Amino acid sequence: MLKIGLTGNIGSGKTWVCKVFEALSIPVFYADLEARKILNTATIIEEIIDVYGSSVKLSHKEIDRKALANIVFNDALQLKKLNRIIHPKLTDTFLRWADAKDNFPYVIQEAAILFENGFDSIMDKNITVTAPQQLRLQRVMERDLATKEEVLARMAHQWSDEKKAKAADFIINNDGKQMILPQVLKIHHNFIL
C-alpha cells in the first residue's frame, strides 16, 4: 500500500481534490483536522500553556486557536515550537491510521505544510494542488471571513506554489479553468496499475 502526500497552499482547493479521491474509495487522512484533535488533548494543552502561557487557554478542555494563531503566525520561532509539539504525535497518528488501511492500493495524507515540515519524507509520492495567489486569497477571505492581512500572514509561512511543484511528483492545477476530475483520474490510475 502506498502512502501519498497531498499538499497545496491555503485556498488551493486541497480539500476539494481529496473529496474526489474519496469518491474513488481512497481513504484520506486530514492532517489539519487530526492536529486540532491532538491540540486539545490534556497533555498537549498543558504543554502549550507551558510554552505560550494561559492567554491561549479557552477553557480547561480547549486551546483558543485564534489566540494561538495570532502568536505563531506572527513569529516563525513560535511556529516552530508549536510544530515540534504537535507534529511527532501527528506523524504517529497517521502511520497507525495508514497501517490499518492495508487493504487499499494507497492512502492519502492531506497536509498544508507537507514539505515545510518534512512529512513528504514518509510518503511514497507527493501531489501538489496549485492555484493563482489572488484566487487563493479570495477563497480564504470568503471561507474564513478573514482579512487580507490575516490570510497573507498565513500564506507567508508556506512555500510558494513553484517550490512545492518542484518538490512534488504530481501537480493538480485548480485555477478554475482546468477540470479537476481528469487530473485526479490520471494520478489515480498511476497508483492502481
Q: What pLDDT digit, counting tens, does each position of 102-159 carry?
A: 999 999 999 988 998 899 999 999 999 999 999 999 999 999 998 999 899 888 888 9
Asked whether residue 54 carries a pLDDT value surpassing 90, the answer given is no
pLDDT given at position 62: 86
Q: How many CB atoms lie within 10 A of CB 130?
A: 21
Could you state, in order of their start, the residue ranges of all structural domains in the chain?
A: 2-192
With bands split at pLDDT 50, 70 and 90, how would you rate the model's confidence at 82? very high
Phi, psi of 171 (to 5 degrees): -125, 135
Strand 2-8 with 106-110, pairing? parallel
pLDDT given at position 92: 96
Q: Return the bridge partners of 59, or none.
A: 62
Task: Identify the helix (H) or strand (E) that includes residue 8.
Answer: strand 2-8
CATH annotation of 2-192: 3.40.50.300
> Cα(190)–Cα(92) distance, rounded to whole angstroms?
27
Residue 87 DSSP label: H
